[in-house]
Chains A and B, each alone.
Chain A
Amino acid sequence: MKPFMPTLLLLATGAAFANQAPITMEDQSQLKVPGGQAAPQFAPPAESELPDNAFGKMVREGHALFVDTRRLMPEAVGNGMNCSNCHLDQGRLAHSAPLWGAYPMYPAYRKKNDKVNTFAERIQGCFQFSMNGKPPAADSPQMTALAVYSYWLSTQAPTGVEIAGRGYPEVPQPKGGYDFKRGQQVYREQCAICHGDNGEGQKVAGDYVMPPLWGKDSYNWGAGMHRINTAASLIKYNMPLGKPGSLSDQQAWDVAAWVNRHERPQDPRLVEGSIEKTRLKFHANDGVNLYGQQVDGVLIGQGTGS
């Protein structure tokens, strides 16, 4: 028996290395994602592969909610956002926080609410913060449909593996930090054509076509996107639409800082009505963000009052 032991150990070590780094589930909202240089290999299933049965019907329902959230779930969405505004190409696109990169990572512990979250609870977070609304119940038909759609997109993806293309790849903070003035200029030249001069987005017949980036109809101060580093990552890898990677890291950080220095709906976790207490509890260790700080003599994080 004895001679075999080293071999077994070696085998075990080899397997561990094959699975790459150990999975850290400290905080999903802050998980390190594979860099942009790691080429995504995973391909979600094609629409034509969708079965014509009860499951397929539920996938279609989840898809509809995902791309037209605000209009189909007005009771749950409190601003002008749809799921597909942050998760491009119907939740399919690599480096745009694709659903196939998220679904297989749950359940997971999140520091954000200090508990192990199911996937449904993670989506509830999106409704509460990114969509500034009232999350549907975990066992509601809409939540089931969204989870079924996510599950289907993850067909054949490994569980518990941070596969390439998940999340938004981290864009390192430039050495000189960021600059609002430069950010404003990038915004004017590259973003305002769609998102409006004042971040207000654009509507057709009362519905947003291009999402608002700040103000009362945008994501609130509790959303992950309020972090400058997260917004810089989305922007660098996805914006302007159809021209990803066209901005430098510096430009992405500058314009992300410009966007995220503007007021938006208050963090729903507001502690005892105090911005400072809320900053200390939820924002002080949450990436790079401006909540509760003074910018040009003005306190950021006062909310839009709605």
Chain B
Amino acid sequence: MTPLSRVVIGSLLILAWPAAHAADGQKVFTQGGANPAAMACLGCHGPDGKGMAAAGFPRLAGLPAGYLSKQLHDWRSGSRQQPVMAPLAKALSIDEIEAVSHYLAALPSDPAPDWRRQQIATNPTERLALYGDWSRQIPGCVQCHGPGGSGVGEHFPPLAGQPVAYLMAQLNGWRDGSRSNDPNQLMAGVAKAMTDAEVKAIAEYFAHPASPEVKP
């Protein structure tokens, strides 16, 4: 083989690799996995992957691939429990989990509202969201989940625009232990320190972003 053809074949392989993954991921998303029990994501999460707020099905579009893949693995292991998702995750192959996670991460999503942590918050819900309540060791939600709940990196998923029912279910999952897959148990302590009323209010705060940035 000439060096040139090696380069050509190498390049083709490099080009073909992500394309093959994208094709798989899209197929899992629209048609489901090879195992018929692994149903297509779009049935519940919407054709654009933006979720179905009325039913409480969360948006997946634009979430970090590492986060999505970890959740699917955690449903398989049981550190995250949910009666619909656990069997689906178990029916997906490891390759399919990787592929669909990358496909979903690349789907377009609506940007988080541009809230900064600069207004003095007098409303208790906004205060909790922006600054937390340190008398109970609760950091502000945005300190980890980013301005406006945009999400930060692979470990701190977006809160902005997720359905109220979904956000409440997650907080309550950490409180009752049905969700225990948070790295370093960062969320369990926070959720357990929150009241029922706060869980609802915070879920609504991030589900329906309305607060404009205050210019000093």
Contact = CB atoms under 8 A, between A and B. Distances in A.
Interface of A: 47-48, 50, 59-61, 63-65, 67-68, 71-72, 84, 88-90, 92-93, 189-190, 193-194, 202, 204-205, 207, 209-210, 240-244
B143 A241 contact: yes
A71 B117 CA distance: 11
Contacts of B186: 193, 240-243
B144 interface: yes
Nearest to B155: A193
A64 B150 contact: no
A64 B216 contact: yes
A93 B138 CA distance: 12
A100 to B, nearest CB: 14
Contact of A241 (B127, B144, B216): B144
Given A193-B184, A207-B147, A67 B117 contact: yes
Contact of A193 (B122, B127, B137, B183): B183
A132 to B, nearest CB: 21
Contacts of B117: 67-68, 84
26 contacts: A47-B120, A47-B121, A48-B122, A50-B120, A63-B120, A64-B119, A64-B214, A64-B216, A67-B117, A68-B116, A89-B132, A93-B134, A193-B184, A202-B153, A205-B147, A205-B150, A207-B147, A209-B142, A209-B144, A209-B147, A241-B144, A241-B186, A242-B132, A242-B138, A243-B189, A244-B137
Interface of B: 116-122, 127, 131-132, 134, 137-139, 142-144, 146-147, 150-153, 155, 183-184, 186, 189-190, 214, 216
B117 to A, nearest CB: 5
Contacts of A61: 216
A50 B120 CA distance: 10
B118 A68 contact: yes
Given A202-B153, A242-B138, A244-B137, A63 B131 contact: no
A209 B143 CA distance: 7
B118 A88 contact: no
Nearest to A49: B122
A207 B114 CA distance: 12
Nearest to A238: B134
Contacts of A47: 120-122, 127
Contacts of B146: 204, 209
A71 B116 contact: yes
A174 to B, nearest CB: 23
Contact of B134 (A59, A89, A210): A89
A15 B152 CA distance: 54
Nearest to A207: B147
Contacts of A193: 155, 183-184, 186
A202 B127 contact: no
Nearest to A82: B117
B29 to A, nearest CB: 26
A189 B185 CA distance: 12
A86 to B, nearest CB: 14
Given A209-B144, A242-B189, 18 more contacts: A47-B121, A59-B120, A64-B119, A64-B216, A68-B117, A72-B216, A93-B134, A189-B184, A194-B144, A202-B152, A205-B150, A207-B147, A209-B143, A210-B152, A240-B184, A241-B139, A241-B143, A244-B137
